[in-house]
Amino acid sequence: MEQALAAVRSKKAFICDMDGVLYHGNRLLPGVVEFIEWLQKEDKRFVFLTNSSERSPRELQQKLARLGVEVDEAHFYTSALATAMFLAAQCPNGSVYAIGEAGLTKALYDVGFSMNDMNPDYVVVVESRTYNFERIERAVRLVNAGAKLIGTNSDLTGPTEEGIMPACRALMAPIELATGRAAYFVGKPNPLMMRQARKMLDCHSADTVIIGDRMDTDIVAGIESEIDTVLVLTGVTDRESLNTWPYKPRYVLEGVKDILA
């Protein structure tokens, strides 16, 4: 185990998930403060790459600050930003009907998109407190009328302080089933998201490691990007379910606290 931990600590660049790795809701997980202080002290390159699109990088930076961790805003990249960049490249100055929170709408506005509930180019769905049957009905009508269906991430569930909750792919399912259209998901493990993280870090894959709590997003994203993978058991995946997957992480830890053990 010590040899494995030494190999992780020797990496120059770290791609780190947030939900289930750094915190559950507003509860910071054990060892996170020390881990981030170590990243900064050792002058490691790092980016917090999250499939959550509820908050902007600035809001994520402020959330960590409230929890007692100071990190510059430039270290955050979300699936909302990745989705906005993808749509801007596909359809410059397009329009969208969005079921989502402020982090998504701000990212879309920033790339020149407008909100449109009549004849949008895209319907975009993400985890949202505003998700309801009326919005599902409208999304179905718009997709049937020709709007393309986009999801910010393919997570089925996500960890919270109260337990597991449905995430983007689960919320997308009623619209896909009602329209017969398959959504395109932009966040991890989509290579679009990983390429942006690598660009931010400007580091070779051999010197990089990805840390996450999900086999179906974080770990497979690392494997397909030829980056060493660290699964932490503080989120969605538990040790008993590891053998149900056709691939495995390079390292398995109880949490980020173990990295500095």
Beta bridge partners of 252: 231
Residue showing tokens 């100055």: 93
Cα diameter, the chain: 58
pLDDT value of residue 127:
86
pLDDT tens by residue, the chain, 261 residues? 788 889 999 999 999 999 999 999 899 999 999 999 999 999 999 999 999 888 899 999 999 999 999 999 999 999 999 999 999 999 999 999 999 888 999 999 999 999 999 999 999 999 888 899 999 999 999 999 999 999 999 988 877 777 778 889 999 999 999 999 999 999 999 999 999 999 999 999 999 999 999 999 999 999 999 999 999 999 989 999 998 999 999 999 999 999 997
Helix (H, G, I), strand (E, B) or coil at 98: strand
Please tell me the predicted confidence (pLDDT) of residue 256: 96
Closest CA to 90 of 115, 109, 111: 111
Tokens at residue 38, please?
Answer: 């170590």
The residues, any chain, with a CB within 8 Å of residue 259's CB and separated by 6 or more, are 5, 8, 9, 31, 35, 38, 230, 253
**pTM for this model (two decimals):** 0.91
> Which spans in the chain are helix H?
2-9, 32-41, 57-66, 79-90, 102-110, 133-144, 168-179, 191-201, 220-224
241: phi then psi, degrees, rounded to nearest 5: -90, -5
Which structure tokens are listed for 115? 């909100």
Quote the pLDDT of residue 158.
Answer: 79
- What does each C-alpha distance from 53 to 132, 138, 167, 229, 254 come to in angstroms? 18, 21, 11, 23, 26
Give the Cα separation of 133 and 111 in Å (integer).
Answer: 29
CB-count burial class (<10 Å; 0-12, 13-18, 19+) for 120: buried
> Strand, helix or coil at 152?
coil
Please give the pLDDT value at position 212: 97
As beta bridge partners, residue 114 has: 95
Query: Exposure pattern of 223-237 as b/e (b: 16+ CB <10 Å)?
Result: bebebbbbbbbbbbb
Q: How many CB atoms lie within 10 A of CB 211?
A: 29
Catalytic residues: 17, 19
The two structure tokens encoding residue 147: 């709007």
- Left if phi > 0, otherwise alpha if psi is -120 to 50, otherwise beta: which for 247? beta
Q: What is residue 53's predicted lDDT score, i.e. its pLDDT? A: 87
Q: What is the pLDDT of residue 181?
A: 97
Tokens (6 digits) for 188: 């991890």
Residue 54: beta bridge partners? none
pLDDT for the residue 150: 98
Q: Kindly list the structural domains of the chain, giving each domain's residue range(s) and its CATH number in brackets, ordered by start.
A: 2-51+189-260 (3.40.50.1000), 80-185 (3.40.50.1000)
Q: Which residues contact 239 (CB under 8 A, 6 or more apart)?
A: 233, 252
